[in-house]
Structure formats: C-alpha cells, structure tokens
C-alpha cells in the first residue's frame, strides 16, 4: 500500500498486529479487539479504491449483507468501517476495512502447493464444508462469485472456512479478473463460462467454481492453465479438461463424472443446487450411485469426434439376392383385371383416411396456436401486473421513518416488527425480510425489525465448571463470553476450572453483556488471621479449605496456652491445593525451676536469678549488695514462669564477717549446685 498503515483503527478499538497476507487489493493483519478482548483479522483495502464510489457502494452494501450470515463454514465478518490516514505525500485519505473472524490455519491453496493432490477422503471432507457454506449463502440470497482454493481456509482443528463471501465483486487479490469499474468477475482459473462471457451469474456459477476446486484437490492442478487470463477464460468456454482419472492413475472414474457435471459448460446441465452437489458426493462416499453417473461431459468433450457434434453413420452395402429357381410371370388377359376394381376402392379409402387425418391435425394445430396466443397474451398481462423491484438494503442507522420512506419510494409496503431478542439499543434496525437486494413484486410487504432494547437476565453461577461448560451456560442465558480469561488462586476449585465471573453470578445484566471468566491456577494461599486463635478453630478452618494439617507444641511468652503461635508455610504464601500446613500450638510460658539463694549475698543472688530470666525484688529497706539473703519467695525447687518475680529477704552482714563469708560461700556453692542441676 502507498499509505502508512496506522497502528490502530476505530479510535483505538482494534490494535493492529503482524501482517499475515497481502493481495493486489488489500492486506490482512492480525489485530486485538480491545473492547471485546478477542483476536480478529482485519482486511485493509488499498487507499486508491476509496476514490471509486462504485467500489465503496458495493463494499458497504455487501459487507452489511454478509455480516448477517452465521454459518460454521463461513469466516464471519464482525465489523466494517473507514479510517482516515495520511499517505506518503502528506494527503488525507479514506481507507475502508473489514473486521473478520481470525482463523488460525492454512489456505487450501497453500496446502495443495505444499503437499500436492489431497486424498479422496480429505477432498470429500473439504468439498462438503465448501458446499455447506454455499448452501447457506445461496439460501440467504448471496452469490460468492470467486470460489477458489485461496478463499478456503482449513483451521488447525480441520474446520473448513470459506472467506470473502458476498464481497468478491468488490474485493480480491491480484489474480482476479477485473472490469474497468473494479467489479471482480472471478479468478481466471476457476471462472464459470458465463462469467467469462460477461453474462449474469447465479448460484450455479459458484458450483462450477467449486467443481474446479474439487478437480484441483484430486489432481493437484487447476483444470485449465494458460499464459494469460484470456487464454484460460477461453478454455473454460470452449474446451474440456482432462479427466481427473487420466491425471491421477487409479483414481475412480466416478470422480470424472462428478467433476464433469459440476463443470458443465451449459449451466442447465450442472448441479442445480449446492445441496444436490453435496448429496451426490455423500452418495458416492457411502457406496451408492450418484446422479452424475450418467453424465460424462468431460469424456465426451475430450473426444474430438464428439466435440464436432457430428456422428459418423456406417452404411451397410446393399444385399444381392440370388434366386436359384426364378419365378416366371403369369400370363393374363390384358383386358380383364379381376383385382383392379378392388385396388381402386382401396386407394379411395386411403385417400379419405388421409384427408380425415389432415383435418384432425389442422384442428389440433389451430387449438395449439390459439393456446399459445392466449398464453402469450396472459404472460404479457401478467408481466405488467407483476413488475419486479429490488428490495432496499437497511443498516443499523436506519430509522423506522427512513425505512418506510425507502420502501414507499420503491413501491413496497412496510410491516414493522419488534425484535425482543436483540442486544442493540432500543429502536435500532436489526433485520429485514426479504433481504436487501432481492427482487420482489411491486406492492409486496417487507418486514423490518427494530430492537426493543436489550433485555436483562441473571448471570448464572458457573463456578467449579469447566471453561467450555461455563461458556455454554452463559451463552445459553443470552450473554457473550470474553475470549480472554483471568487466572487466580483458589482453595477449592480445580486447576483450569472457573472460580467466578465478572459481572458476578446472580447479578442482573443486559442480554449480550460480555462476561469475563476467572480461572483457577491450581494454587492457593495460606490464610491469614489464624495466629492467636484456638487450635480447634484453626484446624477446622484449614481442613474446610482443603489443606492437610500437622500439629506441634511450643512455649510462648506472648500466646496463651492452647492458642496457635505460628503457621508453616507463613500466611500469604502460594502453595498447591491440598498441601500440608504445620500448626504450632502454645504450651504457655516456659517453666523454670527456682534455685536456692538463701545465704548468698544479695548481689550474688540477684545475678543468679536474673540470669535465669527472673526479676528480683527485696523486701528489706536500704539493703546493701553485701547483705546476706535469709529467705526467698517462691522457695527453692518451685516451678515458676520464666520472667516471674522472686522476692528476697536480707540482713546486714556486719555482725560476723567470718560467719558472713562462710555463709556466703556456702550459699554460693548451693546456688551453683542448684543451677548446674538439670
């Protein structure tokens, strides 16, 4: 393209990605629909075509028509629009684009190019998918006009998807044969004879092209090739393709017949409908005899004698009869003829009979002529009464008054219907019958539906369901499901299953609202807020949330006995569902045996007790460090909480220094002995 491709379209809704295809008329890019969170393919037209009003009119009309189709074998069109961009010369241009379903796979053209002919079974399955698409589109009144391997996608899951439905006249690649008004008439190698002659096309023209595709799938090459599109088109009109069985030895000759009937030069001799074509293939697949068994135009046209249209008649030589006993003539009286009178009477009777026959034939001819004249008169009168007009095509911007005005101008009547199943705003046009572009008699009634406004529904609870089941339940309730999902941890929902939705289950939402699914990662977090609660409460909570537990006891200066001190792993840690959590339960404060310090100096006793974690107080006022301890509370050997207060009673040591020293030594030894005891 001559213009710079923007990074996004529709005010940033479509974020453009990598280029996945390019043709003479357009290029295709992968894009992200940021509003709906889904991947799409966007076909961006050449900017020079935006100046062709005929092209733009066809593009808008036919894109709208195709957007209403919904078939699993057709690449859906979601949206269309025009983007204003600046070209390389700095000028502003309008560029039309189409937003389509993104199909991850390969075109049939690329598959044949890489692998050659398909197996009979694969060719059958692909053709059934193509014919399903044509069956649906023809029923909708849309003729493709450019069926070819390049417009047929095979997804990675093996689903057949036909592209460019109904817009082939306006859009195509460089292999298309074009008119001066940019109207595509088809791709030369798959062109029906009537397209090559510039005549009007109908659904049988699509079936001819489908026959060419079937031929190429079976043989690995198109039925006709040449140096130019004109040379190929000439062959479509006047020549016969080599039978497939002559190209691929061993291929059942019935394929010759099926291809021949689909590719008959006279469309009257082709399959009448896609359904008839499909049923013939199904009959052959199931071991039956298809209706094409009696049709072998390819073989007949391949025979030079048959092609001249003249049959050679073999004449037998005259036979000579030899009489061994000749019969002599009988001599009679020339004046007497006994049989003459009888013969005369017979001749007169025959003449009378012939005369009667002539009269009868004349009467019959007169009756036929009169009937023909009456028929012509009736047809002329009837044609005047049933003048045909084209049904206008409406769009989402059409109002009820606008639709009525257009129909009245075309000589048609309107019947307004209310669409109660639409998700569009109230008053928006949603559909019409007959479809736009159809031919109907003047005075016919056209039904036009306008939205009653989106109805509301309750979002169903799909937690714990698989993603497929959740999507089905939500869509059945009238909602759309976002193509992307969010992953989160869950205590109880299995990995890859749905944990919740946004908007939430049970909420009232408009039909058509897009629902986001949250998916379980298979991981969960260790719950918070359990430390300090009773053991039984914590164990019950963890087990209800699917965890296994292991209990251990430990002392705690701060947590009361029987309450949980800590968890391992710590709260907030992500672990796999069903993992084991270690629960530590408090035994209360640590218990310490009170040693004996009676007889020791106050300073020594205090140091010993504080070293064991106790606090010390003295009941004697103005006690000195050298005073001797005479009593303690609690008494020696008692179990006390670590950090408990020990009260000491002392007396002055000045009365007997030797006694004091002896007592002090004894007390100190006793204290050390108590301390060293286990």
Query: Residue 596 in contact with residue 627, Cβ under 8 Å?
Result: no
DSSP codes of every residue in 627-675:
SEEEEEESPTT-EEETT-EEEEEEE-STT-HHHHHHHHHHHHHHHHHHH
φ and ψ at residue 430, rounded to 5 degrees: -120, -35
Tokens of 592: 């310490």
- Is 378 strand, coil or helix? helix
Q: Which of 284, 231, 228, 230 is nearest to 254 (CA)?
A: 284
Q: Tokens 């028929």 — which residue? A: 375
Q: What span, in angstroms and rounded, lies between the C-alpha atoms of 483 and 40?
A: 11
145 sits in the region (left: phi over 0; alpha: psi -120 to 50; else beta) called left
Residue 659: CA atoms inside 13 Å, Cβ hemisphere, count? 8
The conformation of residue 214, written as its DSSP 8-state character, comes to H
Q: Which is the catalytic residue, given 33, 146, 172, 280? A: 146
Q: What span, in angstroms and rounded, lies between the C-alpha atoms of 487 and 474?
A: 19
Q: Is position 202 annotated as part of the catalytic site?
A: no
Q: What span, in angstroms and rounded, lies between the C-alpha atoms of 160 and 123?
A: 11
Q: What span, in angstroms and rounded, lies between the C-alpha atoms of 600 and 668?
A: 5
Q: What span, in angstroms and rounded, lies between the C-alpha atoms of 609 and 593?
A: 10
Q: Which of 151, 144, 152, 223 is nearest to 185 (CA)?
A: 144
Q: What span, in angstroms and rounded, lies between the C-alpha atoms of 480 and 509?
A: 11
43 labeled part of a ligand binding site: yes
> Counting Cβ atoms within 10 Å, is residue 489 exposed (0-12), middle (13-18) or buried (19+)?
middle
Tokens of 259: 């291809």
The conformation of residue 530, written as its DSSP 8-state character, comes to -
The conformation of residue 163, written as its DSSP 8-state character, comes to -
Q: What span, in angstroms and rounded, lies between the C-alpha atoms of 673 and 596?
A: 9
| Positions marked catalytic | 146
Annotated binding site: 43
Annotated binding site for ATP: 43
């Amino acid at each position: 393209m001559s213009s710079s491709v923007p990074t996004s379209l529709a005010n940033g809704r479509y974020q453009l990605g990598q280029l996945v295809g390019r043709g003479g008329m357009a290029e295709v890019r992968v894009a992200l629909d940021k509003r709906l969170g889904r991947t799409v393919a966007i076909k961006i037209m050449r900017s020079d075509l935006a100046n062709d009003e005929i092209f733009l009119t066809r593009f808008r009309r036919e894109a709208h028509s195709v957007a209403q189709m919904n078939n699993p074998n057709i690449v859906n069109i979601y949206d269309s629009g025009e983007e204003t961009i600046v070209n390389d010369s700095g000028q502003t241009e309008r560029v039309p684009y189409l937003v389509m379903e993104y199909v991850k796979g390969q075109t049939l053209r690329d598959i044949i190019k890489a692998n050659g002919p398909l197996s009979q079974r694969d060719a059958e399955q692909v053709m059934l998918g193509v014919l399903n698409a044509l069956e649906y589109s023809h029923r909708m009144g849309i003729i493709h006009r450019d069926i070819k391997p390049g417009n047929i996608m095979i997804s990675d899951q093996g689903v057949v998807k036909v592209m460019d439905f109904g817009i082939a006249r306006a859009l195509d690649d460089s292999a298309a044969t074009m008119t001066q008004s940019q109207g595509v008439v088809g791709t030369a190698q798959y062109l029906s004879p009537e397209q090559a002659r510039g005549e009007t096309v109908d659904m049988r023209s699509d079936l001819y092209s489908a026959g060419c595709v079937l031929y190429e799938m079976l043989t690995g090459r198109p039925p006709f090739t040449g140096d130019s599109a004109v040379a190929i088109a000439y062959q479509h009109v006047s020549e016969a393709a080599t039978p497939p069985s002559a190209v691929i030895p061993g291929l059942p000759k019935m394929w010759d017949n099926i291809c021949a009937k689909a590719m008959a030069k006279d469309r009257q001799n082709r399959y009448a409908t896609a359904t008839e074509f499909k049923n013939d293939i199904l009959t052959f697949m199931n071991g039956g005899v298809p209706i094409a068994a009696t049709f072998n135009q390819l073989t007949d046209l391949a025979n030079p004698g048959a092609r001249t249209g003249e049959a050679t008649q073999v004449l037998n030589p005259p036979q000579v009869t030899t009489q061994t006993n000749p019969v002599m003539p009988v001599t009679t009286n020339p004046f007497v003829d006994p049989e003459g009178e009888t013969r005369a009477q017979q001749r007169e009777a025959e003449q009378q009979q012939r005369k009667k026959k002539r009269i009868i034939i004349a009467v019959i001819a007169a009756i036929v002529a009169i009937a023909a004249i009456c028929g012509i008169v009736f047809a002329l009168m009837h044609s005047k009464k049933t003048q045909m007009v084209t049904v206008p095509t409406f769009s989402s911007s059409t109002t009820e008054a606008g639709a009525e005005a257009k129909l009245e101008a075309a000589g048609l009547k309107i019947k307004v219907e209310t669409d109660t199943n639409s998700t569009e705003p109230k008053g928006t046009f949603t559909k019409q019958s007959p479809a736009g572009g159809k031919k109907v008699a003047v005075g016919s009634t056209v039904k036009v539906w306008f939205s009653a406004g989106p109805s509301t529904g309750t979002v169903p609870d799909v937690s714990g369901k698989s993603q497929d089941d959740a999507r089905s339940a939500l869509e059945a309730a009238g909602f759309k499901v976002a193509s992307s999902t969010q992953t989160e941890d869950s205590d109880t929902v299995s990995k890859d299953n749905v944990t919740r939705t946004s908007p939430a289950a049970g909420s009232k939402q408009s039909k058509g609202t897009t629902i986001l699914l949250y998916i379980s990662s298979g991981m969960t977090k260790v719950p918070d807020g359990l430390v300090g609660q009773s053991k039984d409460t914590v164990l019950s909570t963890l087990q209800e949330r699917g965890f296994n537990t292991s209990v251990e006891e430990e002392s705690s200066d701060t947590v009361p006995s029987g309450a949980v001190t800590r968890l391992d792993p710590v709260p907030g840690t992500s672990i796999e569902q069903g993992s084991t959590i270690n629960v530590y339960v408090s035994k209360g404060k640590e218990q310490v045996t009170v040693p004996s310090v009676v007889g020791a100096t106050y300073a020594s006793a205090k140091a010993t007790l504080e070293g064991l974690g106790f606090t010390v107080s003295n009941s004697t006022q103005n006690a000195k460090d050298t005073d001797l301890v005479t009593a303690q509370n609690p008494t020696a050997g008692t179990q006390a909480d670590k950090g408990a207060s020990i009260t000491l009673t002392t007396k002055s040591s000045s009365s007997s220094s030797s006694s004091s020293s002896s007592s002090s030594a004894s007390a100190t030894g006793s204290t050390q002995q108590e301390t060293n005891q286990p």
